Amino acid sequence: MLLMAPQGTKKLNQWLVFNFPLEFSRVMRAVLQRVARASVSVDDKVVSSIGKGVCVLVGIGVDDNEADIDYMVRKLLTLRVFEDGQVMWKKNVQDLDYELLCVSQFTLFAKTTKGIYKMNRQGYLGLFIEEVLMVEFKPGSKPDFHASMKTAEANEMYTKFLQKLGKAYKPEKIKDGVFGAMMMVDIVNEGPVTIELDSRKFSYDDRQ
């Protein structure tokens, strides 16, 4: 896929840099669910549980940094997914003093198509366009998780995410599963309300 320079562009010696969402995403991803209750069990023992609030499945991507953590913390705490009386989408988790149950989940980065991508830059009237070329594309039956961060580094980033979430809200309101464990997650989704969040989306940077 070649991204063309805007018609009539006059600027020279600039970089056009595009960051791709979704299938190109390698940054923090979260799936937020509004719940009546939720719990996590390991080896048939409940390790965390909440009542009414939000359950968040969290994936750490290979390109994540602290800015991604900060964005996701802010988004999760301010997103209005609760009603105010009969009016929907008016209150966030902080407004109602609800809890958050966070569960690490690298499978959010599963890629189910096989492709070979080539990255280069195409010159155009002094401009440079970043090109993403898919030279092979076919269905895959085995999920690929290469966009997720390696376990040790991901654990460190996830721990930092939980700490920042607690600091921005209330530590006692943040519940967690067991990183890297085989967990049984019991979620009673209310609505249902399920929202997918990425810490970065398609963006354009005009760089000298």
Catalytic machinery residues: 105-107
Q: From 43, 52, 59, select the one nearest 175 (Cα to Cα).
A: 52
3-state SS, the chain, equals CCCCCCCCCCCCCEEEEEECCHHHCCCCEEEEEEEEEEEEEECCEEEEEECCEEEEEEECECCCCHHHHHHHHHHHHHCCCEEECCEEEEECCCCCCCEEEEEECHHHHCEEEEEEEEEEEEEECCEEEEEEEEEEEEEEEEEECCCECCHHHHHHHHHHHHHHHHHHCCHHHEEECCCCCCCEEEEEEEEEEEEEEECCCCEEEEEC
